[in-house]
Amino acid sequence: MGKKRAGNIEKTIKTVDLGLKDSYSLKLPPNSGIRAGKLQGIGQRSSQQDCFGVSDVSEKAIAAHGLLAVMADGMGGMADGEKASMEAVVACLGYFDAFGGTEHVSKMLLVMAQQANERVKRRLAEKGSAGGATLLAAMVQNRQCHWLSVGDSHIYLYREDRLGQLNHEHNYAAQLAADGRLTQEEAQLEPDGRALTSYIGIEELTLVDRNERPLLLKPKDRILLATDGVFHTLSGGEIADSMKYPVEESMICLGMQIEKKRRENQDNYTAVLIEIE
């Protein structure tokens, strides 16, 4: 069955005008050693509360600092979620542009997240509104990856046809399971299970997930950043199926699978894919 599905997807991709590939790719220097793709859709929502960005993609900048991908998802149901996600991404990219050359990457990313948290709090306070956003950040340089997450968006490693989640979610269900009060299956059924226990815009940012030692990457390894509009719509197997193609086609396939579900309340969805050549 798996081969049949993959074959059908491949046949469908070949019918797509591949001129669209430019919309699903990030143009990087050919000798950077990495390739990157992107995907974003509004789903069935009235506004786009996901925001993403990448650091300077010039050859000089990537050689000196690596490539940083940042993603934020404004908290659904809260005022100014889209402003929170945008402010978080802008703050992170600005901080990385200023301090991205440090050898202590994990610590730098942590301070970057704290700076983003302060900026979002300040901007929302100026408007007299409440809000917040999840945050994902992944920096790749010299076949090493440092990552950081706040909230419940996902960072994956795709290696040798297997997809594995790198980070842990910060929500009430995960907390209940971690405390041993409920099994993971029971916790997922809790009415408030998806309520975030950590996010950008919180009064004090203390709960952050990150790797303190670099993740060593192999050729063809992929790092995938995704908001919940992706992984709450598609299964892990479906996401992995889309990773079997070149970077741009993988993003096209991911988007096609989401849209094919035709979910009545489809959330905003965003993904950034980084591949080691």
In a domain, 271, yes or no: yes
Q: Domain holding 123: CATH number?
A: 3.60.40.10
196 close to 171: Cβ distance less than 8 angstroms: yes
Q: Report which of residues 269 and 173 the model is more confident about.
A: 269
Q: Is residue 184 part of a domain?
A: no
Q: What would the pLDDT profile of 211-260 be if each residue is shown by its tens digit? A: 999 999 999 999 999 999 999 999 999 999 999 999 999 999 999 999 99
Q: What is the DSSP code string of 204-223?
A: S----EE-SSPEEP-TT-EE
- Any domain includes 264: yes
Residue 181 lies in a domain: no
Q: Does a structural domain hold residue 93?
A: yes
Q: Is pLDDT of 263 > 90? A: yes
pTM (two decimals) = 0.89
CA distance 105 to 146: 7
Domain carrying residue 207:
2-165+198-276
- Asked whether residue 174 is assigned to any structural domain, the reply reads no
- 232 located within any domain: yes
CA 124/CA 213 separation, integer angstroms: 34
The answer to whether residue 70 sits within a structural domain is yes
Domain count, the chain: 1
